[in-house]
C-alpha cells in the first residue's frame, strides 16, 4: 500500500528517512548496547533540532501543529533504522502538556532539550493488570502526596521527570514531576536490545499544585489518550522494523544458493514470504487509517489495542522467518537481522504485548456490543 501523502508530508517523510539513516542503523544500535547507553542522545538532539518533539504541539504553544499522521511518518523510519531514542515518549508528553494552560515551564524545558520527560502511566493493556501497581495519593497541607510504583517505564533511568497519574479518594490527577526530587526512586534493568526499562517508585512524594496538569475526567481522558498514542506509535515503529527485515530477507534469498538454486526459487519459502508481505501491508493500512483519524478523536481505543496486538504478533513472525532463512549466521550477534529481532522483541512488549492488548481488545469490543 502506498500512503496518500500531500507534498508537505512527503517532504517530512524524506527528511525523516535521511535523518534516521544517518543517526541509526544496526551498527550504531550495537555500539550503543555495547557501551551501556540506553538511548542515543545525538539522535534525540537531532530530532529536537528538527522540531520533531513538538510535532503534535499547537503552533501557538511553540509546536508544529501537526497530527498523528505526521508522527507516523517520523516513527516508521525510526523502526526501520533501529534508532534508540524516546521521540514517541517525548512527543506524547508534549501533546499532553500543550493542552494545559499552566504547563509552559515544563513544556519549554522538554522542547528545548533541557529536560527529558517520559510517561510513567499504568495504561489499560500495558501489562497484566495488578491492582497493587500505580500511584495513589492524598492531599496534605495543600499539597498532593503520592506513593506507589509503576513498572516497565522506558528510558526511566535517563529521564529528568515523569508524567504520572495519581488516584486520590476524590479524583484522579495527571501530574508532571521531577524525577530527581526526594521520594522518587528508579530501578532500571537492561532490555535485550540494549535499551532499558525502569520501575518508578514514589514514597511520600510531595507534588506542588502547579505540577498538576489535569484533574478528574480530563485527567483520565488525557492519560488514556497518551497511553493509546504510545501503543499506536510503538506499532508504527514495529512496522518499520518489519520493512527492514523484509528487505534484508528478500535480498538474502535472492543471492544465497542451496542445491545450486537461489533460496528464493523454492516455492515453500516464497509462500512464507508472501504471507509475511501481506501481513505487513495489512498492518500498514490499519496504522495509516488509525493515525489519520486519531487527532479528530475517531480512533477507537479497541482498534489501537487490536493494532498493537497484531503488530506484536506479525513482527515476531516476520523476524523469526528472517532469522530462519538467513540460517546459522542470522543467529549471530554480528548479523544485522539479529539486532532487528531483539529490537522487535522489546517494542512488541512495550506498552502492552500481544496477549494483554488482545485481552483489552476483547473487553472493549464486548462493552460496545
Are residues 13 and 70 located together in one domain of the fold? yes
CA angle 77, 78, 84 (to 5 degrees): 165
* pLDDT at residue 332 in the model: 83
Are residues 267 and 333 located together in one domain of the fold? yes
Residue 199: inside a domain: yes
Alpha-carbon distance of 63 to 360, in angstroms, equals 33
Q: Residue 40: give the domain boundaries.
A: 7-115
Are residues 363 and 223 located together in one domain of the fold? yes
* pLDDT at residue 334 in the model: 84
- Domain count of the chain? 3
Are residues 194 and 225 located together in one domain of the fold? no
Residue 17: inside a domain: yes
Are residues 225 and 361 located together in one domain of the fold? yes
* pLDDT at residue 139 in the model: 87
79 close to 347: Cβ distance less than 8 angstroms: yes
Residue 269: inside a domain: yes
* pLDDT at residue 310 in the model: 97
* pLDDT at residue 167 in the model: 92
CATH number of the domain that residue 28 is part of: 1.10.540.10
Residue 58: inside a domain: yes
What are 111's three cell numbers?
A: 522542547
CA angle 332, 338, 344 (to 5 degrees): 155
Q: What is the pTM of this model?
A: 0.94
Q: What three-state secondary structure class fits 152?
A: strand
* pLDDT at residue 264 in the model: 63
Residue 1: inside a domain: no
Alpha-carbon distance of 49 to 42, in angstroms, equals 11
Residues, the chain, total?
369
Q: What is the 3-state secondary structure of 350-369?
A: CCCCHHHHHHHHHHHHHHHC
Are residues 225 and 352 located together in one domain of the fold? yes
CATH number of the domain that residue 149 is part of: 2.40.110.10
* pLDDT at residue 226 in the model: 96
Are residues 160 and 288 located together in one domain of the fold? no
Q: What three-state secondary structure class fits 168?
A: coil
Cα torsion at 12, 60, 236, 92 (round to 10°)? Answer: 150
Residue 202: inside a domain: yes
Pairing mode, if any, of strands 143-154 and 184-190?
Answer: unpaired
> Among residues 69, 89, 115, which one ends one of the domains?
115
329 close to 104: Cβ distance less than 8 angstroms: no
Type and span of the H or E element at 214: strand 212-215
Sign of CA dihedral 273, 349, 225, 195: negative
Are residues 248 and 323 located together in one domain of the fold? yes
* pLDDT at residue 132 in the model: 53
Are residues 241 and 337 located together in one domain of the fold? yes
What are 194's three cell numbers?
A: 540494549
Alpha-carbon distance of 232 to 237, in angstroms, equals 9
CATH number of the domain that residue 223 is part of: 1.20.140.10
Are residues 182 and 286 located together in one domain of the fold? no
> Among residues 115, 140, 169, which one ends one of the domains?
115
Residue 171: inside a domain: yes
> Among residues 91, 115, 139, which one ends one of the domains?
115
Are residues 111 and 123 located together in one domain of the fold? no
Give the gyration radius of the chain's Cα atoms. Answer: 21
Are residues 84 and 137 located together in one domain of the fold? no
Q: In tens digits, what is the pLDDT along the chain, a chain of 369 residues?
A: 566 788 999 999 999 999 999 999 999 999 999 998 999 999 999 999 999 999 999 999 989 999 999 999 999 999 999 999 999 999 999 999 999 888 789 999 999 999 999 999 988 888 765 545 689 999 888 789 999 999 999 999 999 999 999 999 889 999 999 999 999 999 999 999 989 999 999 999 999 989 999 999 999 999 999 999 999 999 999 999 999 999 999 888 888 767 777 776 677 778 888 999 999 999 999 999 999 999 888 889 999 999 999 999 999 999 999 998 888 888 888 889 999 999 999 999 999 999 999 999 999 998 775
Cα of first residue to Cα of last residue in the chain, in angstroms, is 31
What are 237's three cell numbers?
A: 515503529
Alpha-carbon distance of 242 to 119, in angstroms, equals 26
Residue 2: inside a domain: no
What are 219's three cell numbers?
A: 485527567
What are 244's three cell numbers?
A: 527492514
* pLDDT at residue 130 in the model: 53
191 close to 185: Cβ distance less than 8 angstroms: no
What are 26's three cell numbers?
A: 544496526
Amino acid at each position: 500500500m502506498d500512503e496518500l501523502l500531500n507534498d508537505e508530508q512527503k517532504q517530512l517523510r524524506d527528511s525523516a528517512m535521511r535523518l534516521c539513516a544517518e543517526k541509526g542503523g544496526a551498527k550504531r544500535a550495537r555500539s550503543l548496547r555495547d557501551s551501556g547507553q540506553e538511548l542515543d542522545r545525538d539522535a534525540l538532539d537531532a530530532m529536537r533540532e528538527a522540531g520533531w518533539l513538538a510535532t503534535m504541539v499547537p503552533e501557538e504553544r511553540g509546536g508544529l501543529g501537526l497530527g498523528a499522521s505526521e508522527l507516523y511518518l517520523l516513527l516508521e523510519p525510526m523502526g526501520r533504522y533501529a534508532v534508540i531514542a524516546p521521540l514517541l515518549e517525548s512527543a506524547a508528553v508534549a501533546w499532553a502538556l500543550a493542552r494545559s494552560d499552566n504547563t509552559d515551564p515544563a513544556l519549554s524545558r522538554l522542547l528545548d532539550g533541557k529536560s527529558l520527560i517520559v510517561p510513567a502511566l499504568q495504561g489499560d493493556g500495558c501489562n497484566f493488570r495488578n491492582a497493587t501497581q500505580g500511584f495513589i495519593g492524598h492531599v496534605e497541607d495543600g499539597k498532593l502526596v503520592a506513593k506507589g510504583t509503576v513498572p516497565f517505564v522506558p528510558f526511566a533511568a535517563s529521564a529528568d521527570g515523569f508524567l504520572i497519574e495519581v488516584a486520590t479518594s476524590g479524583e484522579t490527577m495527571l501530574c508532571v514531576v521531577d524525577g530527581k526530587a526526594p521520594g522518587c526512586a528508579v530501578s532500571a534493568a537492561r532490555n535485550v536490545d540494549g535499551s532499558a526499562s525502569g520501575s518508578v517508585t514514589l514514597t511520600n512524594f510531595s507534588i506542588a499544585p502547579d505540577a498538576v496538569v489535569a484533574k478528574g475526567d480530563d485527567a483520565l481522558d488525557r492519560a488514556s489518550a497518551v497511553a493509546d498514542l504510545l501503543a499506536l506509535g510503538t506499532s508504527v515503529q514495529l512496522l518499520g522494523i518489519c520493512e527492514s527485515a523484509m528487505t534484508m530477507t528478500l535480498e538474502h534469498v535472492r543471492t544465497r544458493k542451496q542445491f545450486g538454486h537461489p533460496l528464493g526459487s523454492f516455492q515453500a519459502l516464497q509462500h512464507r514470504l508472501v504471507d509475511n508481505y501481506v501481513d505487513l501491508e495489512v498492518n500498514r493500512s490499519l496504522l495509516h487509517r488509525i493515525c489519520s483519524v486519531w487527532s479528530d478523536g475517531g480512533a477507537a481505543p479497541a482498534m489501537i489495542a487490536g493494532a498493537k496486538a497484531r503488530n506484536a504478533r506479525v513482527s515476531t513472525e516476520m523476524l523469526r522467518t528472517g532469522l530462519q532463512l538467513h540460517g546459522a549466521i542470522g543467529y549471530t550477534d554480528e548479523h544485522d537481522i539479529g539486532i532487528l529481532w531483539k529490537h522487535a522483541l522489546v517494542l512488541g512488549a512495550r506498552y502492552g504485548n500481544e496477549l494483554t492488548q488482545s485481552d483489552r481488545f476483547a473487553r472493549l469490543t464486548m462493552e460496545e456490543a
